Amino acid sequence: MKIRETEIQGLLVLEPKVFEDARGYFYECYNERLFSEHGLPAGWVQDNESRSAMNVIRGLHYQLAPYAQAKLIRVLEGAILDVAVDLRKGSPTYGRWSGIGISSDNRLQLLVPKGCAHGFRVLTKSATVLYKCDDFYNPRAERSILFSDSHIAIDWGIDPAAAVVSEKDLNAPSFAGADNNFIFGNI
């Protein structure tokens, strides 16, 4: 597995080695030993799966510390633009976003570290997204940031008015108004 860094510390793109032949393909999408050897989260405790239609935007979601979650994202069907926003005060990339196209064809995975908000836009007719979390969902710690916040200025590749977004996500606070207790190097 190749591990590529992004401009946000701890936000990693994982590219598995895929074995293809006339029968189809095989690849190892997670190996606890390999993750541990590279200092990556290895204690996944919850898997989540979502299916969404084209132009759905989910996010930007996160949980406050001490319930913050690292997430390992992959796409089982379709394609998404997967985005993370650095919320760790004191980080050189605080308030910045990074995004990557992930699909069932390229089989890339995105490792989103604790202290980052996460969201995605569906680029195909539909997409099924699977993500592992290293801590359990805690509704009292759940927070979000408005996907179209001008301070972050994420290029979703779509007019925000044309995006399909939940009422909850449409009413999320701005980056400046969001609860955030993350300190860089302390998560």
What integer pLDDT is reported at residue 42 of this predicted model?
85
pLDDT digits (tens, 9 = 90+) for 50-77: 999 999 999 999 999 999 999 999 999 9
pLDDT at residue 183 in the model = 97
Q: How far apart are CA 175 and CA 159, in angstroms?
A: 19
Residue 131 is part of which domain span? 2-15+44-170
Whole-number pLDDT of residue 187: 82
Q: What is the mean pLDDT of residues 14-33?
A: 93
Q: Which residues pair with 20 in a beta bridge?
A: 25
The mean predicted confidence, pLDDT, of the chain is: 96
Contact 72, 34 (CB under 8 A): no
Q: What is the three-class DSSP state of 169?
A: helix
Q: Are 96 and 7 in contact (CB under 8 A)?
A: yes
- The verdict on residue 144 lying in a domain is yes
Q: Averaged over 98-116, what is the pLDDT?
A: 98
In a domain, 30, yes or no: no
Q: What is the mean pLDDT of residues 109-132?
A: 98
* 84/160 Cα distance (integer angstroms): 17
51 belongs to a structural domain: yes
Per the listing, tokens 């926003």 go with 85
Choice among 61, 67, 137, 151 that is catalytic: 61
Q: What is the model's pLDDT at position 126? A: 98
- Let me know if residue 179 belongs to a domain: no
What pLDDT score was predicted for residue 163? 97
Q: Please check whether residue 182 lies inside any domain of the structure.
A: no
**Would you say residue 186 lies in a domain?**
no
The tokens for 92 are 């050189």
Residue at token pair 């690292």: 70
What's the alpha-carbon Rg for the chain, to the nearest Å?
Answer: 16
What pTM, to 2 d.p., does this model score?
0.95
**pLDDT tens by residue, 127-147:** 999 999 999 999 999 999 999
Give percent above pLDDT 70 in the chain. 100
* 92 in any annotated domain: yes
Proportion of the chain above pLDDT 90, given as a percent = 94
Instruction: Let me know if 151 is a catalytic residue.
Output: no
From 62, 131, 137, 151, active-site residue: 131
Residues 154-170: pLDDT tens digits?
A: 999 999 999 999 999 99
When divided into structural domains, the chain yields a total of 1
- Catalytic annotation present for 118: no
Is 57 part of a structural domain of the chain? yes
The CATH number given to whatever domain includes residue 66 is 2.60.120.10
**76-91 pLDDT tens trace:** 999 999 999 999 999 9
Residue 9 confidence (pLDDT): 96
- The length of the chain in residues reads 187
